[in-house]
Homo-oligomer: A and B are copies of this chain.
């Protein structure tokens, strides 16, 4: 008999199909209401409500009440990381689809991971930022480099803005198996990409699709 952290409790929360669908939906990073999550999960509102209270009690979700709306979101990056890890295993051991569908391909190129960009583009971006010493990597720790202030202020991103969350964080990418940039800076960059309309979020998916012009802009700024 073992003791220790109750991993069965956490895993069984993710282990119900309805709840797994909800969590997957929330990996998109935007908080959703109970009814939206009910729809995502394909269950009735009462059922969804019951699941949501369990996830809350389990500490996997955060809740923001706004008037009569209640927005549920993932509790934090650590939870998101766990889901990514489970997705990785499910992809690996799951029934290998002969050909990954077009949506899969898009997901591999660029997708939202909680609140920042992930996928090939994101991994390439982080590599390039480190090459140019905009960022410095020290193991899984990422810090601002000498060129950071000038580079990001030109984009209208204030890297000095303080928050409880770290500015930079490395996040393991399940498709590329390398790190991409998370933290407030990662989130700010994703915001920028969407705000500038370089890319748009695929409806009902985590995929992020760049427009031809937007892709050029993005590569110009981050991959040059």
A141 to B137, CA, bound (A): 13
Expressed in whole angstroms, the minimum distance between the Cβ of A65 and any Cβ of chain B is: 21
A12 to B12, CA, bound (A): 5
Binds B, one of A90-98, A152-160, A216-224: A90-98
Residues of chain B with a CB closer than 8 A to A93's CB: 10, 58-60, 75
Expressed in whole angstroms, the minimum distance between the Cβ of A193 and any Cβ of chain B is: 22
Q: A12 and B11 in contact (CB under 8 A), knowing A60-B93, A178-B139? A: yes
**Please, which residue of chain B has its CB at the minimum distance from the CB of A126?**
B139
Residues of chain B with a CB closer than 8 A to A14's CB: 7-8, 11-12, 15
Q: A21 and B42 in contact (CB under 8 A), knowing A86-B7, A89-B78? A: no
Expressed in whole angstroms, the minimum distance between the Cβ of A71 and any Cβ of chain B is: 19
A56-100 residues with Cβ-Cβ distance < 8 A to B are 58-60, 75, 78-79, 81-83, 85-94
Q: A127 and B139 in contact (CB under 8 A), knowing A11-B86, A16-B8? A: yes
Q: Is A17 an interface residue (CB 8 A)?
A: yes
**Please, which residue of chain B has its CB at the minimum distance from the CB of A86?**
B7
Chain A contact patch, size range: 35 or more
Does B7 lie within 8 Å of A11, measured CB to CB?
Answer: no
**Please, which residue of chain B has its CB at the minimum distance from the CB of A76?**
B92
Residues of chain B with a CB closer than 8 A to A83's CB: 7
Residues of chain B with a CB closer than 8 A to A187's CB: none
Residues of chain B with a CB closer than 8 A to A87's CB: 4-5, 7
Residues of chain B with a CB closer than 8 A to A91's CB: 5
From B10, B15, B16, B90, contact of A90 by CB (8 A): B10
**Please, which residue of chain B has its CB at the minimum distance from the CB of A16?**
B8
Q: A140 and B179 in contact (CB under 8 A), knowing A75-B93, A94-B5? A: yes
Does B88 lie within 8 Å of A78, measured CB to CB?
Answer: yes
Residues of chain B with a CB closer than 8 A to A7's CB: 14, 20, 23-24, 83, 86-87, 90
